[in-house]
Structure 1
């Protein structure tokens, strides 16, 4: 048993090394004054200055954040009502069918999804740009949010809703004062997962972006194809640190909430 535990720790360490070594390599060379990824000659902030002086890049970053926030918020709202509808389906066969349809966009290859959206938008006449990217991100974010919200709804006892109705609560009160507070952790988890997927997505976005509109992932890909530039390293480092700050902040918020709930239960 001890040997198995040691091997497990070694395996976990190797996984973390494989995952994070390229990121730290990229981070370190973002401060390289030599301008290449081979020899580190000196420390400089030049590549970060280039990023912040690039007006076009800043606009693309703003576009990416707006798309991510809007698509995640809309997808989460739709996922809440979709999850409630799935839970309320009585026939198991119909419920399984809805769950299977929900999971199609998750298990399907991104390239197929992107090509499908491109064909769909071309047929119905939607111009490729902000609208097409937003609709695509909403579409693939909904199943992700549903998967995070649905387990919380399934954990909720139906007697809570019955008790609220017996006490004279309206359907709206049941939704806003009973269901939503209970599934709040799932809602936040679904929103942040959708936000992460939207910020990271490249394959789908690559198909549905048009001339004059781009997101960060597509822009980084375009610049990387043009040749190695350490401004890409600097930009990637900023995104990584920002994402890390969000994850750490979310973790501490959850920890504080758990402590407050623990104090409430004790009282």
Structure 2
């Protein structure tokens, strides 16, 4: 009992340390005083300033377009990669492929960003929308693979054998048996890739060209110019959107689990 109480206290302390700076930032985004001290009164001026900034709204649009496109494309490549790894029979090649897949996940973002910058410079890709999109796809694909692989490992081979015995083609097996079964992993991979893309700074900073920017790079650039509570307001909006993504993923996952439970009950 005593150990459980100490664990709870430790957990609460960790959450306070993690979330206190965020709530501090949110609190002062409503400060009419214009600084992150001496709260003078409640105001929505800084949020109005964010929505009145046309350039910032374009950057927001760029960020979401990059995130959605890179996540959708990453899901396609991630499913293909997970299937390729899953159906490798020999243990050593499978472990080698898994290790290569995990390189981009465990490698420092600075090294990844610098590598992409050198690559794009050598092959002549202009820094901007395309370079950022390709970079986000590259670091999102391994995330999707990691999310999809466990679902593939849970799937019984007899499902595929039964489908083939009934005359299903390889395409029908993929689209009507495998994809529906691994759908929770696909959704998890998509939302994880979307979150990573929205939050990424280090890689994007290296591959962003003149005239194109994302929210993370823009916030960094504005923060270097000094404290402005419009940055607080913008960061608050991003934080709230991330929470909505997490909640959305939670409800989708819960619905999938209920569907799976009902299917097993009928079976």
Residue 254 of structure 1 and its aligned partner are, at CA, apart by: 2.6
Structure 2: distance between partners of 1:113 and 1:174: 36
Residue 258 of structure 1 and its aligned partner are, at CA, apart by: 3.0
Structure 2: distance between partners of 1:181 and 1:200: 29
The answer as to 2:72 corresponding to 1:73 is yes
The answer as to 2:177 corresponding to 1:184 is no
Structure 2: distance between partners of 1:54 and 1:28: 22
Q: Give the corresponding residue for 2:129.
A: 130
Residue 76 of structure 1 and its aligned partner are, at CA, apart by: 0.9
Q: Give the corresponding residue for 2:237.
A: 238
Structure 2: distance between partners of 1:203 and 1:12: 29
Q: Give the corresponding residue for 2:116.
A: 117
Runs of 4+ in 1 over 2 A off after TM superposition: 252-267
Structure 1: distance between partners of 2:77 and 2:221: 33
Residue 38 of structure 1 and its aligned partner are, at CA, apart by: 1.0
Residue 34 of structure 1 and its aligned partner are, at CA, apart by: 0.2
Structure 2: distance between partners of 1:11 and 1:18: 11
| Contact 2:147/2:188 (<8 A) preserved | yes
Q: Give the corresponding residue for 1:143.
A: 142
For structure 1, the residue ranges without an aligned partner over 5 or more in a row are none
Using structure 2 for the length normalisation, give the TM-score.
0.97
Q: Give the corresponding residue for 1:161.
A: 160
Deviations 1:70-120 (A, max 9, x none): 001101110101110111111110001100110111111100000000000
Structure 2: distance between partners of 1:173 and 1:260: 22
Deviations 1:201-252 (A, max 9, x none): 0000000000000000000000000000000000011111111122122222
Structure 1: distance between partners of 2:70 and 2:246: 19
| Contact 2:85/2:97 (<8 A) preserved | yes
CA-atom RMSD in angstroms: 1.1
The 3-state SS of whatever aligns with 1:40 is coil
The 3-state SS of whatever aligns with 2:168 is coil
Structure 2: distance between partners of 1:153 and 1:27: 41
Deviations 1:152-204 (A, max 9, x none): 01111111111110110000000000000000000000010000100010000
Q: 1:193 to 1:209 in 2, by over 3 A?
A: same
| Contact 2:50/2:56 (<8 A) preserved | yes
The 3-state SS of whatever aligns with 1:175 is helix
Structure 2: distance between partners of 1:140 and 1:259: 32
| Contact 2:191/2:245 (<8 A) preserved | no
The 3-state SS of whatever aligns with 2:243 is helix
Q: Give the corresponding residue for 2:171.
A: 172
For structure 2, the residue ranges without an aligned partner over 5 or more in a row are none
Q: 1:5 to 1:256 in 2, by over 3 A?
A: same
| Contact 2:75/2:141 (<8 A) preserved | yes
